[in-house]
Structure 1
């Protein structure tokens, strides 16, 4: 999926999330699948679940990590694409 920097995401009602020891564990109650995010993925999850747009989330992550912007954008986009593909996040539709 091509990401728009002002894109926002929501967590579907069938997804449960729990932080355990600095990592986030997700469960899709529809198919009973579990997913685990490492500490960096967990921080991305937290920012997006706080309903920050993608650009704001990336800006905050750039302040937290010593990484170049292009690499961070690629990594965040890849994770978001995977979360959306697995049904763990949905893209919030913009109203015009």
Structure 2
């Protein structure tokens, strides 16, 4: 499970991504499933090109969007955990 101290990195080996405007379409090369990411999710996907703490993801989003820290943490952790469940990201140890 992802928490604010988790160091995360996206799993580029199993996914192909293509940006369409402010959104991104990602294909899981193992299943052929497609996922659509909105603008905020796309920002998170881009941030995770390199290992980054979940708390730093939140800080970066707070600099980009007008949202409270509590709401940003809640929504970001929920999305990061979904990404982890779909093997889109991994937690560095």
TM-score, normalised with respect to structure 1: 0.86
- Structure 1, unmatched stretches of 5+, are none
Q: Determine the structure 2 residue equivalent to 1:35.
A: 35
Asked if the contact 1:27/1:35 (under 8 Å) is kept, the reply is yes
Q: Distance in 1 between matches of 2:63 and 2:12?
A: 29
Secondary structure, in 3 states, of the residue corresponding to 1:8? strand
Deviates most, 22-31 or 53-62: 53-62
Per chain length, whose mean CA-contact separation is higher, i.e. which structure has more relative contact order (CA < 8 Å, sep 6+)?
Answer: 2
Q: Distance in 1 between matches of 2:89 and 2:54?
A: 13
1:4 to partner: Cα distance = 4.1
TM-score, normalised with respect to structure 2: 0.88
- Structure 2, unmatched stretches of 5+, are none
Q: Distance in 2 between matches of 1:52 and 1:7?
A: 5
Task: After the TM superposition, list the runs of 4 or more consecutive aligned residues in structure 1 that deviate by more than 6 angstroms.
Answer: none
Root mean square deviation of aligned Cα: 1.5
Task: Please state which structure has a larger fraction of its residues in strand.
Answer: 2
